[in-house]
Amino acid sequence: MLENLLSFAVLAGLLTLLPGIDTAQVLRSVAIGGRSTGYATLFGIMGGVWVWGVAAALGISALLIASEIAYTVVKWLGATYLVYLGIRMWLDSRHITETSIAAKTEEKRTFIKTFSRALFITLTNPKNGVFYVAVLPQFLPDELPAFVGGFLLATIHNALTFIWFSLLILGAGFAKQTLQNPRVQKIVERVSGLALIGFGLRMALEKNQ
């Protein structure tokens, strides 16, 4: 069992280090609301990973992938939401000023709202399901029930995710004063917006599995 867990940890660690939509979400959250907002986003991502891990172990996400209609619905739901968020970030960036930043700092986005958005993005990305369905079964410990094994592997993935993104959050936190500059925030918002639009379009144009 230990060999399986270590092998999965190596694979999950490499996946975690790859820059993608999670990185864009977390860094943008830190720039807008500070470390607490960054962690709210991180916890939302981790919640989605746990759901996908358990679902894959129980075979639920395999049913999603096997159904072309269900896969397409989830894919387009996630893609549409990402593009919507990206466009909204780009449009909102035009109104960023020192006054708006001060107001946003005082009225920080609630933990639940930030957490829920990150969770929704993670759950509506069917590629997460594809990864877990394709990879997780071969690492599931035979000694444990499927539910427990899936949760354990997802926990390993989340532990590595927490460590890596905590480093990013803390690093970005040291640059908080710079990130509070209106010009810098406009750049962050527009780059993040374009990244989300790009991820959304790529998700929408990818062929079903």
Q: What is the pLDDT of residue 66?
A: 64
pTM for the whole structure: 0.70
Higher pLDDT, 120 or 94: 120
Q: What is the pLDDT of residue 134?
A: 67
CA distance to 28, 149, 199, 203, per residue, from 42 (Å): 11, 23, 18, 21
Q: What is the pLDDT of residue 21?
A: 82
**Maximum separation of any 2 CA atoms in the chain, in Å:** 58
What's the mean pLDDT in 92-105? Answer: 60
Query: Two tokens at 138?
Result: 């071969």
C-beta separation of 30 from 173 below 8 A: yes
Q: What percent of the chain has pLDDT over 70?
A: 75
